[in-house]
Structure formats: structure tokens, C-alpha cells
């Protein structure tokens, strides 16, 4: 049997709200294969972002297990999880999360700097990726000098420049107009096809869901449907 890139088993997540337990996710089981272009859909409060954060090892489940390439994330130390996020995962956030005092180029280079990649190679790879994404001319602009769409393209460049296995994108089009959002989705779809990067979105944007080849539907923290195209 082919080993899935990500496997989630009986996942539960509880939060405390003034001492009262609130169930964010209940008994979620799913798997994601290499090269998928999938979306986690559902209304606000359905658990989309919580599930994405758990898959990305940004948070820990209350119960259940998450396996990445067959390895149980719960058995890993904080340092090992940090290394996993740095080497194997890319993140794209709704609010872009670019570092405001750095230029677009420096933002794209940042993860490679943490990986210890030499300056010249770092610069070459960052510029090549920005060129691929059509933002090379923004290299020396800071985030406050860029539009929302340009910032999100820089965020995508930062996410893919380290050649991750998976990019996790949390509501990546939420702050963009429909034309810019469409261009961004097509860009990520091209990266998926050309580089075989697995993309997992959380989104209720119809444009994202139309492009996704698989949709996992959440409602009230439970997986209620799966649509394969």
C-alpha cells in the first residue's frame, strides 16, 4: 500500500474558554498524497484553520495522531518539529506575515538564511523564484510599498523557495479582490503541477474551491463530506 504524505487519525482538539472546554475538532481522519491540490472548506468556525495548524505542527492535538511521511508528530521534540516546519513545510497566511522591515527579496530569503544557505546561493534562488512568480521588480520594496496581491505573491515565493513537500495556505485569497485572487490561485496551481508541491488550503472562497481537485468539508469541527474531482 502506498504511504500517504500526511495521515490524520481520530483527531480531536479542545480549547479552554474561561475554564469551559470547547471542542474545535472531533474525530477527524483523512490522508493527503504527494502532489495533491486540496482544500479544507466550511463556514467560519468550522475548524479549518485549527486543522491546518495541526497538520503544519503549529499546534498539538488533544487526542489522535498526525503522521508526516509515516512519522508520528507527537513523538517529535520541539526542535524536531521546528526543523520539520523549516525543511519540509511552507506556509501562506491570510495576513501575508511578511517581516515589515525587510525587503521582498529579504523576506523570500529568510527561511534559507535560517537553513544556513550561503548568501550568493540564497540570493540566486530567491530572485529566480520571484521571477517565476512575476515579482522580480519588487525585490527591493518593503511590504508597505506593495499591494496586497504583490505581498501574497512574495509570501508564496517565501513558502516555495526552500522546495517544501507541502505548502499550507490559510485563507490565502481572503484579503484580495477577485481578479488578483484568481491570478494567485492559478499561480499556485502552476507551482503544484510543475514542481509537484502538495498544496492544502483552508478556504471558503469559491474560486479556490473550483480549482481544488479535492475538497474536504468541515462542519462544527467534524469532517462531513469529501468531494473528489
Q: What are the pLDDT digits (tens) for 128-185?
A: 999 988 899 999 999 999 999 999 999 999 999 998 999 999 999 988 889 989 999 9
Q: Give the CATH number, domain containing residue 134.
A: 3.40.50.300
Nearest one of 19, 134, 158, 8 to 68, comparing CA atoms: 8
Q: What are the pLDDT digits (tens) for 51-94?
A: 999 999 999 999 999 999 999 999 999 999 999 998 999 999 88
CA atoms of 136 and 142, how far apart (whole Å): 13
By the 8 A CB rule, do 200 and 52 touch? yes
Residue 63: inside a domain: no
Residue 176: inside a domain: yes
- How many folded domains does the chain comprise? 1
217 vs 45, which has greater pLDDT? 217
Per-residue confidence (pLDDT) for residue 17, from 0 to 100: 84
Per-residue confidence (pLDDT) for residue 161, from 0 to 100: 92
Residue 30: inside a domain: no
Residue 52: inside a domain: yes
Residue 2 banded pLDDT, cuts 50, 70, 90: low
Residue 64: inside a domain: no
Nearest one of 76, 63, 60, 56 to 28, comparing CA atoms: 63
pTM of structure: 0.91
Q: What percent of the chain has pLDDT over 90?
A: 78
User: Cell triple for residue 116?
Assistant: 544556513
Longest dimension (CA), the chain: 53
Q: Phi-psi category of 61—alpha, beta or left, where left has phi over 0 and alpha has psi -120 to 50?
A: beta
Dihedrals φ, ψ of 86, to 5°?
-75, -40
Residue 164: inside a domain: yes
Least confident of 17-26, 66-75, 122-131, 193-202: 17-26
Residue 201: inside a domain: yes
Nearest one of 108, 113, 91 to 166, comparing CA atoms: 91
Residue 133: inside a domain: yes
Domain extent at residue 201: 36-57+75-228
Amino acid at each position: 500500500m502506498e504511504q500517504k504524505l500526511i495521515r490524520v487519525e481520530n483527531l480531536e482538539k479542545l480549547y479552554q474558554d474561561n475554564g469551559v472546554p470547547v471542542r474545535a475538532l472531533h474525530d477527524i481522519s483523512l490522508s493527503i498524497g504527494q502532489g495533491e491540490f486540496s482544500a479544507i472548506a466550511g463556514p467560519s468556525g468550522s475548524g479549518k484553520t485549527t486543522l491546518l495548524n495541526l497538520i503544519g505542527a503549529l499546534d498539538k492535538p488533544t487526542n489522535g495522531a498526525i503522521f508526516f511521511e509515516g512519522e508520528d508528530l507527537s513523538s517529535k521534540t520541539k526542535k524536531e518539529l521546528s526543523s520539520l516546519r523549516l525543511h519540509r513545510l511552507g506556509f501562506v497566511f491570510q495576513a501575508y506575515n511578511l517581516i515589515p522591515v525587510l525587503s521582498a527579496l529579504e523576506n523570500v530569503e529568510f527561511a534559507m538564511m535560517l537553513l544556513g544557505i550561503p548568501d550568493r546561493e540564497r540570493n540566486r534562488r530567491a530572485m529566480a523564484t520571484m521571477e517565476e512568480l512575476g515579482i522580480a521588480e519588487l525585490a527591493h520594496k518593503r511590504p508597505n510599498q506593495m499591494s496586497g496581491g504583490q505581498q501574497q505573491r512574495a509570501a508564496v515565493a517565501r513558502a516555495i523557495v526552500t522546495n517544501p513537500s507541502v505548502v499550507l495556505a490559510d485563507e490565502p485569497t481572503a484579503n484580495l479582490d477577485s481578479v488578483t485572487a484568481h491570478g494567485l490561485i492559478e499561480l499556485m496551481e502552476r507551482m503544484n503541477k510543475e514542481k509537484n508541491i502538495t498544496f492544502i488550503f483552508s478556504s471558503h472562497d469559491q474560486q479556490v474551491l473550483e480549482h481544488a481537485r479535492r475538497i474536504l468539508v468541515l462542519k462544527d469541527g467534524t469532517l462531513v463530506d469529501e468531494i473528489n474531482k
